Amino acid sequence: MVTRVVVQRSPALRARRWARSNLFSNAWNALLTLVTLALIGFVAFVLVRFIFIEADWSVVRENRRLIFLGRFPQEHEARIWPPIWLFALLAGGSMGLWGRVNARGAAAIVVSVVLVFALLAHGANGARLGVAVVLAGGAYLLAERGLRGEAAQVRARRAAIAGWALLLPFAVVVLVAFGGAQTSRLGGFLLNILLATVAIEAALPLGVLLALGRASSLPVVRVVTTAYIETVRGAPLIAWLFVAWFVLPDVLPPVFNLDRIDLVLRAMVMLSLFTGAYIAEIVRGGLQSVAPGQVEAAKAVGLGGFDITARIVVPQALRAVIPALVSQLISLWKDTTLVSILGLTDGLGGSEAAVSQREFFGRQREVLLFAAGVFWVVAYAMSRLSLRLERSLGVGER
């Protein structure tokens, strides 16, 4: 008989064993490990030294308007806060409703809040940012602790989903309507965020419809959608933005002033149409992955074509392609910066404008690193959100 004695090893010993078997299993691996560690250490050292010692972050604080709002008229600036507050409320509440914030997450949130305050809070802004933080925290606590019973949970979740759906229209109305800013004056990261949000919300349904069209049994529908998808994918986004700039005004009929729509709206339309084509191809892959038995079972219980598509096929197709979809949307988020070729000042453009001022010469590194940070934070948040979504939809469980 063999008896195996399980010895409780100390964590240090376990770590050493893990390192031995994973990092130093032979000479070649050991060398690779050392080189990699040296590289990581060097980059980290340079970054940390720059961020905390060499950099002068006042350039970001002084230029925060330019970076975040571009040429957005000053008299309407207060209008950006209600949407931000609604966003904070929804973000905090959703985190409490759908997720748990663990210690690492909490630490990351605290660090970001401190960073945001350090870099951006100034005068009245500080108080307004404070309101956002209080709203987010309050909503989180209320959602996490304050809801008694399943029914309350369900209601709160419905309210949150409705809130998210209303966020974009709310923001647009607050910013632009009732004598607000002209859309053509939108700029800075506000412009990137609005372009990306509008394009995501328009491109997703468009992509699904195009994918369904391409899979349709009607030849006309199939040919038209296929032609659309292949044409759009045949040229780079930059080319389509040029089309929006130079060609569209001549082609569009002069009714409703369509030919004189401002550049921001044209950019929104182009980004949506462009991303829609790519999403269509991703969704098409998802449609093909739905087992034929699903449609048969749905037919057998008497469901009609619309219900089969909308309730059985599309949800499963989307679920199967979440990673690819999110990756496409992240790429859209970064592509919004291409609108600078239309002469619009987005977040990156605003950053460049900031350092082209005489008194900020030589501070490009701070501003560009900051801009990169903003792009990264949003992209990373999208990627985390997609993981969360995948888990809650039970992808891979079948």
| Residues in touch with another protein (CB under 8 A) | 291, 293-294, 296-304, 307, 311-312, 315-316, 319, 393-394, 397-398
Burial of 84 (0-12, 13-18, 19+ CB in 10 A): middle
What is residue 1's three-state secondary structure?
Answer: coil
Residue 6 burial by CB count (10 A; 0-12/13-18/19+): exposed, middle or buried? exposed
Distance between CA atoms of residues 333 and 195, nearest Å: 8
Residue number with CB closer to another protein (241 or 298): 298
Integer Cα distance of 374 and 189 in angstroms: 9
Write the DSSP string, 91-114: HHHHHHHH----HHHHHHHHHHHH
Spatial distance between the Cα atoms of 153 and 136, rounded to a whole number of angstroms: 18
In angstroms, the CA 43 to CA 66 distance is 30
Nearest CA-CA partner of 67 in 378, 379, 375, 371:
371
Nearer to another protein, 312 or 374 (CB): 312
The single-letter code of the amino acid at 178 is F
Structure-token match 């219900």, residue found: 307
The Cα angle at residue 264 between residues 181 and 281, in degrees rounded to 5: 140
- Tell me whether residue 182 or residue 294 sits nearer to another protein (CB atom): 294
Nearer to another protein, 30 or 152 (CB): 152
Distance (Å, whole) CA 368 – CA 274: 27
Nearer to another protein, 219 or 304 (CB): 304
Local structure of residue 351 (DSSP, 8 states): H
Smaller CB separation from another protein, 312 or 341: 312
**Which lies closer to another protein via its Cβ, residue 141 or residue 310?**
310
| Min CB(395)–another protein separation in Å | 10
Q: 347-352 long-range CB contacts below 8 Å, 24 or more apart?
A: 347/67, 347/68, 347/188, 347/189, 347/191, 347/192, 347/371, 347/374, 347/375, 349/70, 349/187, 350/63, 350/66, 350/67, 350/68, 350/69, 350/70, 350/187, 350/188, 350/189, 351/63, 351/66, 351/67
Q: Which lies closer to another protein via its Cβ, residue 9 or residue 158?
A: 158
Question: Please, are residues 95 and 101 in contact by the beta-carbon 8 Å criterion?
Answer: yes
Least separation in angstroms between residue 299's CB and another protein is 6
Cβ at position 309, least distance to another protein in Å: 12
Considering the complex, what minimum distance in angstroms separates the CB of residue 396 from another protein? 9
- Of residues 234 and 396, the one with the C-beta less far from another protein: 396
